Every structure is written in C-alpha cells, then in structure tokens.
Amino acid sequence: MARNTYNIDEKLESPFNIKHLLRSLAYTKKHTAKLIISLAMNMTINVINLFTPYLTMIVIDDIIPNGDMNKLFIVGAIYLVSILFTYFISYKHSIMMNGVANEIIFNIRQDIFAHVQELPFSYFDNRPHGKILVRVVNYVDNVANFLSSGLVNIVMQVFSLAAVLVFMFTTNVELSLVILSGVPLLVLLIIITKPMQRKIMIDYNNKSSNLNAYLAESIDGVKTTETFTRQKKNSEIFADLSDKFRRIWLKRIRFWLIIPSTTEILTTAVSLAVYAVGALLLTDCSIGVIIAMAAYAGRFWGPIQNIGNIYNDVMNVTNYLERIFETMDEPVDICDVEGATELPPVKGDVEFKNVTFSYEKGHTVLENVSFKVKAGESVALVGPTGAGKSTIVNLLSRFYDIDSGETTIDGHNIHNVTMKSLRSQMGVMMQDSFIFSGNIYENIRYGRLDATEDEIIAAAKAVRADDFIRERPEGYQTPTSERGNSLSAGQRQLVSFARTMLSDPKVLILDEATSSIDTETEVLLQKGIQGLLKNRTSFIIAHRLSTIKSCDRIFYIGNKGIMESGTHDELMAKKGYYYNLCTAQSREME
Ligand code: ADP
C-alpha cells in the first residue's frame, strides 16, 4: 500500500470475494456444537410461535361458537406454558451466544495482534496507527457478532420460511399465493441496490478509519498541539472528518432502510390483500382461516425482513473481513529466510559490503556503502540530518532489507541468520526511548523476563540509573505511564540504557538524545554510556562533541555514503567536512 494518512481513503486491494466469508468460518469451527444447539433452540421457539395463529383459529372457529369453556382453559394453559418456555430458552440462548461471540473476538484479535507484531517497520511507516487500531478493535467486534449469531440466523430464517410455508399451504393455498406475490419485487430491489450498498459500506469504513487515525494522531501529539495553540485548527480538521463520517453514516442508514422498509410495506400490503381476497373472493373461507392466514403473512414476511437485514450484515461483514484478512495476510517481508541458521554468540565484527538501500523505489538513501568495524570498537556517526545515519543502524538489525550488497557480523551474512538470534545480540536504543506502562522494574526487565532482581539492579547501577531510581519514594516500583511521561527525558534514557545493559548485547546502537538536557544529566548520561560501551562494538549517532571525541572512529555520513572516516584528530587535521562540522559546533557553543 502506498503511504496513507488520515485524509486519504484506504484502497481496497481485493475485489468483493465470498472467500473471505468462508475463510472466517474457521473461527466458528470449534463452536459447531454450540451453534447447532443454538439452531435447535431457535427452531423450537419458532415452531412454538407458529402454533399460536393455529390456536387463535381454533378459539374463533370452534371454541367461541360452541362456548366450550373446558377447551378454552386447556388452550389458554398451553399458550401460557409455551410463552414461558420460549422466554426461558431465549434467555439461555442469549447467554450462550454471547459467550461464543466473545471467544470469536478473542481468537481473531489474538491472530491479528500476533501478526501485526511481526510486521516490518515499513508497514507502520506507511499507515496511521489509528487505522491499524480500528481493524483490531472495531472491525473484529462487528465480525464476531455476525459469526456468532448471523450464521445461525440465516439457517434459522430459511427454516422459519420453510415451516411457515408448510403451515400456510396446509391452511389455504389461494391465500398463500397472495402472500407470496410480493417476493419478486423484493428480489429485484436487492439486485438493484447491492453494488451501491457495497460502495457505501467501503466509503463508510474509510471515513470512520480516517477519523480514528486523526484522533489517535492528535492524542499522540496533544502536547505539541497545546504548545503551538493549534487546538482551533485541529478541531476544524476533526470537524471536517466527523462531518464526512456523519454524511456517509446517514447515507448508509438511508440505504440500510430500503430493504426492511420495503418488506414492511409489502407485509402490510399482502396482509390487507389476504383480508380482501379471503373476504370478497373466496366464499368458502371461514373468518378463523382468514385471521390465521393474515397472521401467517406476518410470520412469512418476518423472516424475509430478517433475511434482508442479514443481507445488509453480510455486505458489511465482508467488508470488515476484507480489511482484517488484508492485515493478517500482509506479508512479513523481513523474516527468517529459508534455511536460516542460528547466529552463534558473536564477538562483534561488523562489515558493510557495497550496501545499497532505498525506502522507496527510485530514492536511494545509501549507495555502495562499505566499512569494517572491529569487535569492541566504538564508531560515532555524524553528518547532516537526513544523510542516512539512522538508516545505517536500522540496517544493522535488519529492520529493513538492503537492495544489494551484504551486511555481516563476524562474517555471517545477517540476511541468512534467524532474526531472533540476530536481534538478541544487538542492543538498540532510539533517541526517544520508549517506556511502557507498568513500573521502572518491569521496563528494565522488558527484554529479558528471566532476569533476577540482582541482575536488574546491577544493570541499572552499571549505567548510573540506580541513583535516581532509589531517590524516588517507590524506587524500582515507581509506576510508569505509557511513553514514560512521568519520567524526565534523561531518566527515560537511563532506564532504556539499563534495559539494554541487561540484555548484554555484543553490538550496540545508540541514537544520542539531541534535546537539550541539563549539564548534570548530561554528565550522568555520559557515564551511563561509558558503562554500556565496555566490551561492545558500538555505533553511536552522536550529536555532542564529547561523545564523538570519546569514540574510536568517526564516520561522516553524507552524499549517500561515508564521506570521511578516522579519529577525531585525523579528521580535524584533514580540515574537511568533519572539521567544518566541529568548528561550526564550537562556534555555536561559544
Ligand atoms: P539521519 O539519521 O542521518 O538524519 P535518516 O537515516 O533518518 O537520516 O534518513 C535518510 C533519508 O531517508 C532521509 O531522506 C529520510 O527522509 C529518508 N527516510 C528515513 N526513514 C524513512 C522511512 N521510514 N521511509 C521513507 N524514507 C525514510
């Protein structure tokens, strides 16, 4: 999919296909027994209901004229018992089917979540997170409701139709034909409206998805919004998206109502026709038969109306399923290649051989980049913004696959080793260290759940995080909110250092924070970094001269590759790009 944003509708990448619906049945398989019981319960209720017009007919044609009170009492008792019985079954049925729906929701969500977690970075680069969220939450809810009750309902309505037809035709054939006369009109209407309905449903989902995407983005960026007092403009954008959603929602409702309204009109029309034809044309019809047949007209058109509603549901659900399966089928491009081997414990020799890479076809970010870094060496990556520093470190962990060339660790091509064995030996610390909700202890333990408390504390001590953690009243149990907003930027970095330290990677990647932090924290972070770097190959996207100078080698990245490399002194003597960068930075500092 091309890059998508909140104001761009997602294109459906596959045409309408009944296969999606059939595929979704896999989720109902383990509930087959319950679905059959549900069907049996529904059928029982239906058959009982079908007897009531029959009882009415007996009362009118037989009991009332003969004044037979005994019979009236018996019929009344049967009626009462049957009503109580149907209520009881309906209650049990409702509880059972809600349970099934919940399990289906659980299973689909587990599958889609598991898959989303495997997807490559590029998938998330191209989609607003709100649009992914809406698939996992809203669409799955809608689908599960249909799978748990809709399918049974279809069978049930067909069964009801068949049963009512039997009752109708055994009561009166001519009036039965009158009741059936509205069917061709309804079929024609369904055929005419179907394509339009699908189009509206797709549009409806797109507008709802866009709204969700903007909402998620706005919540993420709310601090920036408030800083720039952009609330009014953002509200306007939100209002515009809401309005588009409202319009399509109304359009959907209007279309949604066409089939049920038509069937309602047809029900009344054929019921009237039954009275008219029965009373005026058919001389051999008793009043009891006419009243029973009018009731059967309702009972016949009831299931037809329900089928109309189910038809609407099918149109919606297939659309949701298309989106859900599209996500589930999204190829995990970055995965273990066939025959991938385990990367043995490495020393940390890293090599790029003629690496060429582009995020999007035609826009090469790195071209024929080659370098060798020895185990234990530290390399500072410097250069202008957008030069490709982060890209180089992203490729080291195989977050993206390269277009050509080779990337090796200890001579092993990282493309041919398992992702788990590769990434478990790499430590990546992004500039904006992500802190999860929970507490500091759990955040440090994030990548190594089997770590002991002593190991966790030792890791925190090694990166100088222990002091600030102990200063907090709740120490390691200090609660952390999503993104770690309760911690300062420096503290977030220290926790992330400790997390990486605990996983003890052989190759370390660090994107140094650019945000201005106080000198005290900077000193603390520097000490933390020094603790981390010991005995590891490290790549640091460095912004501070002090960090750069402390590295063994410096790569100046620019023009799709490494323009200069060497130690600080060598590069200063060369008076090239690095020299200019340093002198500019020093001047700025002064
Ligand atoms: P640096 O870290 O040196 O600032 P990056 O490696 O982040 O630069 O980016 C190098 C180039 O690649 C930039 O032109 C940037 O716009 C582009 N780029 C970075 N990330 C992506 C991405 N996920 N999708 C498409 N282009 C990207």
Q: Which CATH class is domain 434-504?
A: alpha beta
Q: Tell how far the Cα of 227 is from the centroid of ligand 1, in angstroms.
A: 26
Residue 473 CA to residue 581 CA, distance in Å, equals 44
Please work out whether the CB of residue 389 comes within 6 Å of at least one atom of ligand 1: yes
Answer for the pair 388, 356: CB distance below 8 angstroms, yes or no.
no
Rounded to 5 degrees, φ, ψ at 554 are: -125, 130
Nearest alpha-carbon partner for 429 in 528, 314, 572: 528
Q: Tell how far the Cα of 218 is from the centroid of ligand 1, in angstroms.
A: 23
Q: Check residue 312 and give its pLDDT.
A: 78
Please enumerate in sequence order all residues whose Cβ is within 8 A of that of 205, keeping only pairs 6 or more positions apart, or say none.
139, 319, 320, 323
Mean predicted lDDT score pLDDT of the chain: 88
Rounded to 5 degrees, φ, ψ at 480 are: -120, 140
- Which of 3, 381, 391, 399 to probe ligand 1 with, by most ligand atoms within 8 A of CB? 391
Kindly state the average pLDDT of the residues 210-228.
89
Kindly state the average pLDDT of the residues 257-262.
85
Please work out whether the CB of residue 391 comes within 6 Å of at least one atom of ligand 1: yes
Please report how the helices 69-118 and 287-329 are oriented relative to each other, as an axis angle in degrees rounded to 10. 10
Q: Check residue 517 and give its pLDDT.
A: 58
pLDDT band at 571 (very low <50, low <70, confident <90, very high): very high
Q: Tell how far the Cα of 385 is from the centroid of ligand 1, in angstroms.
A: 9
Q: Tell how far the Cα of 386 is from the centroid of ligand 1, in angstroms.
A: 5
Please work out whether the CB of residue 365 comes within 6 Å of at least one atom of ligand 1: yes
In 335-443, the DSSP E strands lie at 350-358, 364-373, 378-382, 404-409, 412-413, 426-429, 438-439
Looking at the predicted structure, is the pLDDT value of residue 69 above 90? no
The percent of residues in the chain predicted with pLDDT above 70, rounded, is 97
Structure tokens at 332: 């995990």
Looking at the predicted structure, is the pLDDT value of residue 406 above 60? yes
Please work out whether the CB of residue 140 comes within 6 Å of at least one atom of ligand 1: no
Please work out whether the CB of residue 385 comes within 6 Å of at least one atom of ligand 1: yes
pLDDT digits (tens, 9 = 90+) for 161-211: 888 899 889 988 989 999 999 888 888 888 888 788 888 988 999 999 999
Structure tokens at 190: 């369904």
Strand partners, 404: 356
Looking at the predicted structure, is the pLDDT value of residue 369 above 80? yes
Assign a CATH topology to domain 337-425+506-590.
Answer: Rossmann fold (3.40.50)
Looking at the predicted structure, is the pLDDT value of residue 303 above 80? yes
Residue 304 CA to residue 449 CA, distance in Å, equals 57
- As a whole number of angstroms, the longest Cα–Cα distance in the chain is 121
Kindly state the average pLDDT of the residues 333-356.
93
Residue 545 CA to residue 522 CA, distance in Å, equals 12
Looking at the predicted structure, is the pLDDT value of residue 516 above 80? no
Q: Check residue 247 and give its pLDDT.
A: 96
Q: Tell how far the Cα of 11 is from the centroid of ligand 1, in angstroms.
A: 26
Q: Check residue 522 and give its pLDDT.
A: 72
Please work out whether the CB of residue 125 comes within 6 Å of at least one atom of ligand 1: yes
Q: Tell how far the Cα of 363 is from the centroid of ligand 1, in angstroms.
A: 10
**Atom in ligand 1 nearest the alpha carbon of residue 384:** 3
Nearest alpha-carbon partner for 273 in 249, 259, 290: 290
**Atom in ligand 1 nearest the alpha carbon of residue 360:** 25
Looking at the predicted structure, is the pLDDT value of residue 20 above 90? no
Exposure string for 374-400, b = 16+ CB within 10 A, e = fewer:
ebbbbbbbbbeeebbbbbbbbbbbbbb
Residue for token digits 């026709």?
Answer: 273
Residue 441 per-residue DSSP state? H
Residue 76 CA to residue 115 CA, distance in Å, equals 58
Assign a CATH topology to domain 18-328.
Answer: ABC transporter transmembrane region fold (1.20.1560)
Looking at the predicted structure, is the pLDDT value of residue 16 above 70? no
Q: How many CB atoms lie within 10 A of CB 210?
A: 26
pLDDT band at 373 (very low <50, low <70, confident <90, very high): very high
Q: Tell how far the Cα of 357 is from the centroid of ligand 1, in angstroms.
A: 11
Structure tokens at 37: 């019981």
Domain ranges of the chain: 18-328, 337-425+506-590, 434-504
pLDDT digits (tens, 9 = 90+) for 128-172: 989 999 988 889 988 887 887 777 788 888 888 888 899 889 988
**Atom in ligand 1 nearest the alpha carbon of residue 121:** 23
Q: Check residue 285 and give its pLDDT.
A: 78
pLDDT digits (tens, 9 = 90+) for 76-109: 898 899 889 999 998 998 888 888 888 988 999 9
- Give me the half-sphere count of Cα atoms (radius 13 Å) on the Cβ side of residue 336: 13
Structure tokens at 101: 């729906």
Q: Tell how far the Cα of 390 is from the centroid of ligand 1, in angstroms.
A: 7
Please work out whether the CB of residue 387 comes within 6 Å of at least one atom of ligand 1: yes
What pTM was estimated for this model as a whole?
Answer: 0.76
Residue 136 per-residue DSSP state? I
Q: Check residue 518 and give its pLDDT.
A: 66
pLDDT band at 304 (very low <50, low <70, confident <90, very high): confident
Structure tokens at 260: 């049920």
C-alpha separations of 513 from 57, 306, 558 in Å:
85, 61, 20
Q: Check residue 418 and give its pLDDT.
A: 95
The percent of residues in the chain predicted with pLDDT above 90, rounded, is 40
pLDDT digits (tens, 9 = 90+) for 273-282: 988 888 887 7
Q: Check residue 145 and give its pLDDT.
A: 78
Q: Check residue 513 and give its pLDDT.
A: 67
pLDDT digits (tens, 9 = 90+) for 418-439: 999 999 999 988 877 788 989 9
Looking at the predicted structure, is the pLDDT value of residue 3 above 80? no
Strand partners, 350: 373, 409
For atom 25 of ligand 1, the residue with the nearest CA is 359
Whether 337-425+506-590 shares its CATH topology with 434-504 is answered yes
pLDDT band at 583 (very low <50, low <70, confident <90, very high): confident
pLDDT band at 248 (very low <50, low <70, confident <90, very high): very high
Highest-confidence range of 35-44, 393-402, 515-524, by mean pLDDT? 393-402
Q: Is 15 exposed, middle or buried (0-12, 13-18, 19+ CB in 10 A)?
A: exposed
**Atom in ligand 1 nearest the alpha carbon of residue 394:** 6
Looking at the predicted structure, is the pLDDT value of residue 283 above 80? no
pLDDT digits (tens, 9 = 90+) for 470-500: 999 999 999 988 776 778 888 888 899 899 9
Q: Check residue 590 and give its pLDDT.
A: 65
Residue 86 CA to residue 97 CA, distance in Å, equals 16
The sheet with strand 553-558 has its strands ordered as 426-429, 507-511, 537-541, 378-382, 553-558, 561-566
Q: Check residue 589 and give its pLDDT.
A: 66
Kindly state the average pLDDT of the residues 335-341.
91
